[in-house]
Structure 1
Amino acid sequence: MSSAAAHSGDPYAGHGSQSGFGYSQNQPPPYMQPPDTPSRSSYYPSKTAATEQTSSGFYDRGMSTSRRNPKNWSRKCWIILAIVSIIVIVIVIVVAVVVTRENRYPNYSKLQYNLVDTFSGTNFFDNFDYFTGYDPAAGFVHYVDGPGSVALNLTYATATSAILRVDLSDTDTTTGRKSVRVTSKNTYNDGLFIFDVKHSPYGCSTWPALWLTDPSNWPTNGEIDVAEATNLAPDGNQVTLHTTKDCKMNVKRKEIGHSMSTNCLNSTDGDSGCGVQGSKATFGEEFNNNGGGIYAMELRDAGIRVWFFDRDNVPNDITTSPSNSTSVTPDPSTWPQALADFPSTDCDIGSHFRNQSIIANIDLCGDWAGQPKYYTEQSKCPGTCVDYVSNQPGSAYQNAYWEFGAFRVYQAS
């Protein structure tokens, strides 16, 4: 190395170049391309290299061309595809069935009704038998027979009204208080029932009901509670069905009441059945202050519907005259929406409700009214239900009576 090169300050000097810098004019200086830095060509593979890498899977983010071809799929792939397809089909079918079921609704077409029975006037109670057995609802009550009821003035009828009440005269009620339960002599498998109710019973410990059932085959032949409440009836009327299995109401319904439960099987949820709650004005003190109203119940294969009409809104085709008039024929197809609707969508009405008798009674305490949830918490009644019946004077039951105008039963021709 020459001294000039040694002292030039250029570490690359003296490497034998024409310009004295030690490299050819046709080549870049070595420091422009460090030995361990990849060349430009290493960042951009040749077309051949790229093709090779792609075919090996390095640059292809999907399946290779051969895998996209169904002819090259393995048996396992076909099985997976078949399973997925079946699952999708099942889901589509289930969704379709659910949507269809939720939108199904029976055909409540117009029926031509004819009057078949009228309970009215002084002979009102001639249409009924008096129940005198042990109360099946475990009430703290003594049901009185016909002659006893007349003697105690618990049932009586005039030309315009029929009264059924709890006894007010008994001073010894330590084993229960006297009351009345009557059952119609005629039974029905279908029909339109019109009940003119002028006064509904209410008061602590009371459990009044206007209902239909087959007393000799309950609950197999069903129960329809048209008007029912307990104690002070703070929430109004509850319309309820009680059945054996396979009668549910979690389906499309057209009603103005509030559904309380949808499984009508009597043995579920404390024998509560499937109930629909009405407004406060449909039973009790407010109902009575408004002059009562009309309850109508239609029992047919398409379903069971219950309407409540206050005195100012009774349809023109419902007569409230006590006379046995056949000049007016009711037509529910023209009425507004029912208070409670129990369609046959998921319940065979015809098989669940047969041989129905009309029943009116006033129970005391028992399985419903006597429960603390309803006696104490809901109605704020004092002490316990049994203690109340045992110790309160008859004056505590001044409002514990039914007053009916007329009952009419129509059946389709």
Structure 2
Amino acid sequence: MALSTALAAVAVAALLPSTSAASGSYSIIKDYSGSTFFDDWVFYGNYDNLTNGDAIFVNRSLATSDQLAYVNDAGNAIIQVDNTTTVPYNYKRDTVRIATADQYSLGSLWVVDMTHIPYGCSVWPAFWSQASVWPQGGEIDILEGVNLQTVNEMALHTDNGCTMTGQVQTGTISSSNCSYEYNSNQGCQVVDPSTSSYGEAFAKAGGGVWVTEFSTSAINIWYFNRSSVPSSISGNESSLSTSDFGTPTANYPSTDCNMEKFFAPQTIIFDITLCGDWAGSNSTFQQTCTGTCYNDYVIGTASYYSTAYFEISSLRIYSNGTDVVTAGSGDGSSSGSSTASASSSSSTSSSDSNSGAASPYAQALTIGGILAAGSAAIAAAMLRPKRTEDWSLALFLLHSLLDSCYTSAQTPVVICRFCFACSLRICCPPMSPHLFLALLGAVALPVSTATGTYSIVEDFSGTTFFDKWTFYDNFDNLTNGDVIWVSEDTARSTNLAYVNSAGNAIIKVDNFTQVANNQKRNSVRISSNDEFRVGSVFVADMLHVPFGCSVWPAWWSQAPHWPAGGEIDTFEGVNMVTRNQYALHTEDGCTVSNPLQTGIDNSTNCAASANSNQGCVVTDVNTQSYGEAFASAGGGVFVTEFAESGISIWFFSRSEVPSSLTGNSSTIDTSAFGTPSANYPTDSCNIDKFFAAQHLIFDITLCGDFAGNAAVFAQTCSGSCYSDYVIGAPSNYDNAYFEVQHVRVYGGNDTVVPPSEQGAAATIRPSLWQMFKLVLFSMLIPLWAA
């Protein structure tokens, strides 16, 4: 807003009578302050999949350990963006989003006292609230701004039908239609006339206080800079009267927006994202900033974010005497918007607590995976998360609903139940109970045994580790790296591949030879002699992974006729990055949607022909998943499940490795491993179609198409990739080695494809379960026809 407009608004406000839009009396019921400030909040723990920001909202553990959320010596809560890490290209910067565990309904008053709010180019902070179901339950934006703007913007976002007229307020109306469908979800927006309501001026003025009255008659928001805070607020009184506060900054009366209709209990939220749909919009960004939002700021100098923090003295909740608390409802972001300019089609995400809304990862489940003519009704019977371990529970809960699913005439009625323990919504099947029970009995055995249990079929470890691998014995003609992958004889004689005294396999780059100009450095690439089919699990336990400028290591797998048959990158990184990247590379048609994972999606098109073969990339959020931190933590374990239902990859740092992986168990159960780091469900990438039996591969190359790309290299290293490293001091490569305790492959009787049976690797053999389903289809079709 132009300064002249703001001054005019102040002048108009001075002429208004000192009336209040409400005169309610409220008593305190909750005080978020001091050393216990963060006790009753939920940390989002996911990337910004709501407003497409270049940020990772870290979980409570990381926020605490990295000092992104803490209480300072003054007793104030700090919520901030990471301002110490140099973020590599294509990565996101860590930040925080928290939401109250409780929700607060009409009849409540929220008072927040802050001494600093985040600001800076690319920065998009907000203090706001939202119902569990959006937009039906509404959203209130109390503090919001982007980049270097100088005044705060307040807004409501609702379902269709809520508008604003006849407001008594000091703020300036930007738009009066609150509908999420109006003007790209702008909401009914009010601009604060005070130039100390946002940014640097807010901090210089000593901060201020926002009061939000959430009542049936109106939603009112007051902003008081430090010098004008009412004595009842500054004195921490246990009761407040809004009649003492004068004319509100923003007034949303119920005249044209029935509060009881458009607003449900609200979760209160603090968050800071970067760039995204609003701050990163080119036209918005250029109004107050120069350069590019991502390249010049997010992955630029980390210290730029030294002003990107909230400092909160307190958040206090008051009640008008009615019961306004809905306990333990979690993050209210089960769907939709998080800010004024967020897209109405924003995707959903889970939080650290169970919510009463259906799991955002829910999908239609066909009983036992059956898809056939007439089974559309079965597909609608349940919604479930993708984890197969929940199938039996889902069937049990659905079976328990049958008595209430049907009328006396045995016709189905719509009844759903929510299972808080498993974030699962169960609905009655829209078919006759007799047909459903017949189907349930027919598939009970395959469903109940689909637990993700596998038996060991191959163990690469100890003195025989290298016995069943082929050494590449050629220069890197695949990724244009500056290495020669030596033969087995050369690797063994020069100690580039050997088993050390601890019984661990070492695979390394030559770190003792001075390489001449225009020559390449020796390294190793090995590939398993056997192939492993869909229905297998690859477990790699490593103590050290290669890292350093110019270094590009990978632990991965590939079918012989690439890209037909696919590729799975379990471990990969370059130079001095701090987090591992996972990826699939396939023929055209494989994409990723709605993954259940802890990692961050960088790209979702797996086709080798797209984006210069970037693949569908997921970045691990764990900073111990790569580089020096991996070794310092004692290494870790990567588990890759190569299954019909999808490809899932887990990373466990040493202190988190499940007990079944620390011993020499002959079986493992992936259902016990929790949420994977990366998840590629078969829904949008048919595993049977795009993947064939895989060779397992370790390799280390130098520079090349990825690590040696000038822009990528400059993100974490200086100088020239080849001149300063490859032909530089050999000691540059002292850390360029794998130390592998073992690689174990688990599966079934037909998992292993020995060399004698290879040659048609891209042909997918139907599994026993697939053949069982085909037989079952023919048995059930008469039932459907009936």
Alignment TM-score > 0.5, same fold: yes
SS in 2 for 1:383: coil
1:130–1:144 contact (8 Å) kept in structure 2:
yes
In structure 2, the CA distance between the partners of 1:401 and 1:101, relative to structure 1 (3 Å rule), is closer
User: Which residue pairs with 1:264 in the alignment?
Assistant: 606
SS in 1 for 2:613: coil
- Within 5 A, what are the aligned runs for 1:49-68? none
- Per-residue CA deviation, residues 60-79 of structure 1 (Å, 9 max, x unaligned), is xxxxxxxxxxxxxxxxxxxx
1:133 to 474, 481, 497: 474
1:106–1:344 contact (8 Å) kept in structure 2:
no
Q: Which amino acid aligns with 1:389?
A: Y
2:550–2:726 contact (8 Å) kept in structure 1:
no
SS in 2 for 1:280: coil
Q: Which amino acid aligns with 1:329?
A: T
1:318–1:328 contact (8 Å) kept in structure 2:
no
SS in 2 for 1:330: strand
User: Which residue pairs with 1:144 in the alignment?
Assistant: 486
1:223–1:241 contact (8 Å) kept in structure 2:
yes
1:242 matched to 2:585? The reply is yes
1:202 to 547, 558, 562: 547
SS in 1 for 2:640: strand
Aligned counterparts of 1:171 and 1:303: Cα–Cα separation in 2: 46
1:189–1:354 contact (8 Å) kept in structure 2:
yes
- Per-residue CA deviation, residues 293-335 of structure 1 (Å, 9 max, x unaligned), is 0110000110000001111111121135xxxx4x442111121
1:130–1:180 contact (8 Å) kept in structure 2:
yes
1:338 matched to 2:676? The reply is yes
Q: Which amino acid aligns with 2:652?
A: F
In structure 2, the CA distance between the partners of 1:265 and 1:372, relative to structure 1 (3 Å rule), is same
How far has the Cα of 1:397 moved from its partner? 0.6
Q: Which amino acid aligns with 1:336?
A: G
User: Which residue pairs with 1:411 in the alignment?
Assistant: 747
- Tell me the TM-score normalised to structure 2 length: 0.38
1:255 matched to 2:597? The reply is yes
Q: Which amino acid aligns with 1:177?
A: R
How far has the Cα of 1:144 moved from its partner? 0.5
1:205–1:388 contact (8 Å) kept in structure 2:
no
Structure 1 ranges of 4+ moved more than 3 A: 99-107
1:357 to 678, 681, 695: 695
Which deviates more, 237-246 or 216-225? Answer: 216-225
1:213 to 528, 544, 558: 558
1:188 matched to 2:498? The reply is no
Aligned counterparts of 2:513 and 2:598: Cα–Cα separation in 1: 42
Which deviates more, 103-112 or 175-184? Answer: 103-112
How far has the Cα of 1:390 moved from its partner? 4.2
How far has the Cα of 1:389 moved from its partner? 3.5
**Identical columns (%):** 35
How far has the Cα of 1:102 moved from its partner? 7.5
Aligned counterparts of 1:373 and 1:296: Cα–Cα separation in 2: 31
SS in 2 for 1:346: coil
- Per-residue CA deviation, residues 374-393 of structure 1 (Å, 9 max, x unaligned), is 211x21x2222122234311
How far has the Cα of 1:292 moved from its partner? 0.5
- Which ranges of structure 1 fall in alignment gaps of 5 or more residues? 1-94
How far has the Cα of 1:169 moved from its partner? 2.1
Aligned counterparts of 1:183 and 1:385: Cα–Cα separation in 2: 27
User: Which residue pairs with 1:75 in the alignment?
Assistant: none
Higher relative contact order (Cα pairs below 8 Å, separated by 6+ residues) = 1
- Within 5 A, what are the aligned runs for 1:91-170? 103-104=363-364, 106=386, 108=388, 109-135=450-476, 136-158=478-500, 160-170=503-513
Aligned counterparts of 1:103 and 1:114: Cα–Cα separation in 2: 29
Name the one with the larger strand percent.
2
Aligned residues, how many? 306
- Tell me the TM-score normalised to structure 1 length: 0.71
Aligned counterparts of 2:642 and 2:683: Cα–Cα separation in 1: 14
- Which ranges of structure 2 fall in alignment gaps of 5 or more residues? 1-344, 346-357, 365-384, 389-449, 750-786
1:395 matched to 2:731? The reply is yes
1:319–1:328 contact (8 Å) kept in structure 2:
no
2:515–2:728 contact (8 Å) kept in structure 1:
no
How far has the Cα of 1:152 moved from its partner? 1.1
Aligned counterparts of 1:132 and 1:195: Cα–Cα separation in 2: 23
Pair member with larger Rg: 1
